[in-house]
């Protein structure tokens, strides 16, 4: 018997996230997920009158390909991927993780070969020219990273992924309005005193149309405006390597000093190109069901009471002109159990210790967003 939670999630992805209509071509990529999930997606796409295309991926296979990556191999793989992507009106990626560290020993130069020979272009085409949604799928590996039993993590996963995203959309409207008329942002907290401008850059609300789970509103800082220091309170995972206590110092927008529990690997990524040392995204997270880091960025960047600050590529919809092969979301949680903190817009306190304190934004606080 098919798990009704899987069917509900597949239906949400097809109808709410991708808004499929008759005649659409839909590219489904399933990474280490049970065939029941892939089948449910195919049926949901077909029920909408759309045509599915399916790629099945496995972590060890992807690692083997990357370990032996050559320029010729990268160009061939990305050429095929681009042709397929150009035929898609929508893109759904469901990513399991039997081993979250599967890619940890892939050399950085191999990753760069793939990205520099078309991999980055394929990604940007999907982001900018399709209706897309990306999500994880629960696995024992993810449950372990979240320090939960497999059964408890599955319950959490389906609760957070199928919440009332229409309610979230309505609650986010005043935040979009406020961010788009804000010039100066000032963030304070333990190890953090950061200032920058977001003037003239659009604010984009996220309520289940691009990521599942969702719950953020993002923009980007004016590229050269970032000054000061930030210390991130959540661990961050990049290509299978965990970084704790990441601290970045800025001058005229550029990261001039970066340290973490693995400072060498941190700077190896930040040195990948010029844009990797500038910020491409600033976002406030507010999903009420996600309250602790689990080293999975699709969850961690939505943690209630958090924000993330992203070295690397800016999104086209909130573009500050920064270009990079890197887009590394780093998360700072400002609830009291993580040390607290404040966010000011044009000198006015708008969030303290993870809770919005201005009346028009209080609907985004956890006790208001939970429930139907």
Q: Where are the beta strands (DSSP E) in the chain?
A: 25-31, 51-57, 90-95, 131-136, 184-189, 192-197, 204-206, 211-212, 216-219, 227-231, 236-238, 241-243, 247-251, 254-259, 279-285, 306-311, 330-333, 342-345, 348-352, 355-356
Which pLDDT tens digits describe the chain residue by residue (372 residues)? 578 999 999 999 999 899 999 999 999 999 999 999 999 999 999 999 999 999 999 999 999 999 999 999 999 999 999 999 999 999 999 998 788 788 889 998 898 898 888 888 999 899 889 999 999 899 888 888 888 999 999 999 998 888 889 899 999 999 999 999 999 999 999 999 999 999 999 999 999 888 889 999 999 999 999 999 999 999 998 888 999 999 999 999 999 999 999 999 999 999 999 999 999 999 999 999 999 998 889 899 999 999 999 999 999 899 999 999 999 999 999 999 999 999 999 999 999 999 999 999 999 999 999 864
Output the pLDDT for position 371: 62
Contact 245, 265 (CB under 8 A): no
Output the pLDDT for position 296: 86
Q: What is the pTM of this model?
A: 0.78
Output the pLDDT for position 280: 98
Torsion (CA) 295, 103, 115, 87 in degrees, nearest 10: -80
Output the pLDDT for position 1: 58
Output the pLDDT for position 210: 81
- Residues 113-154 have pLDDT tens digits of 988 888 889 998 998 899 999 998 998 888 888 889 999 999
H or E stretch covering 200 = none
Output the pLDDT for position 120: 86
Contact 118, 79 (CB under 8 A): yes
Q: How far apart are CA 323 and CA 87, in angstroms?
A: 26
């Amino acid at each position: 018997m098919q798990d009704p939670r899987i069917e509900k999630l597949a239906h949400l992805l097809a109808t709410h996230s991708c808004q499929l209509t008759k005649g659409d071509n839909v590219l489904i990529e399933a990474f280490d997920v049970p065939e029941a999930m892939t089948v449910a997606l195919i049926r949901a796409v077909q029920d909408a009158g759309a045509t599915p295309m399916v790629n099945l991926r496995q972590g060890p296979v992807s690692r083997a390909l990357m370990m032996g990556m050559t320029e010729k191999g990268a160009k061939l793989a990305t050429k095929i991927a681009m042709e397929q992507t150009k035929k898609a009106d929508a893109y759904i990626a469901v990513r399991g993780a039997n081993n979250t560290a599967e890619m940890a020993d892939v050399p950085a130069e191999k990753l760069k070969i793939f990205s520099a020979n078309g991999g980055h272009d394929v990604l940007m085409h999907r982001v900018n020219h399709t209706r897309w949604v990306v999500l994880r799928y629960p696995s024992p590996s993810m449950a372990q990273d979240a320090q939960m039993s497999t059964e408890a993590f599955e319950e959490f996963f389906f609760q957070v992924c199928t919440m009332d995203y229409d309610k979230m959309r309505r609650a986010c409207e005043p935040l979009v309005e406020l961010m788009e008329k804000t010039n100066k942002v000032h963030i304070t907290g333990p190890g953090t005193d950061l200032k920058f401008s977001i003037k003239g850059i659009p604010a984009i609300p996220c309520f289940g149309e691009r990521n599942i789970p969702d719950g953020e509103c993002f923009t980007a800082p004016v590229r050269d405006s970032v000054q000061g220091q930030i210390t991130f309170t959540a661990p961050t995972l990049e290509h299978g390597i965990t970084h704790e206590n990441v601290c970045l110092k800025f001058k005229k927008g550029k990261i001039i000093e970066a340290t973490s529990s693995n400072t060498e690997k941190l700077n190896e990524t930040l040195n990948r190109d010029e844009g990797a040392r500038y910020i491409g995204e600033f976002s406030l997270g507010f999903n009420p069901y996600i309250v602790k880091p689990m080293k999975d960025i699709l969850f961690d960047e939505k943690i209630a009471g958090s924000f993330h600050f992203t070295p690397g590529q800016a999104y086209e919809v909130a573009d500050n002109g920064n270009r990079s092969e890197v887009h590394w979301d780093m998360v700072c949680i400002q609830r009291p159990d993580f040390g607290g903190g404040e966010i000011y817009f044009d000198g006015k306190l708008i969030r303290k210790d993870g809770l919005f304190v201005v009346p028009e934004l209080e609907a985004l606080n956890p006790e208001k967003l939970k429930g139907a």
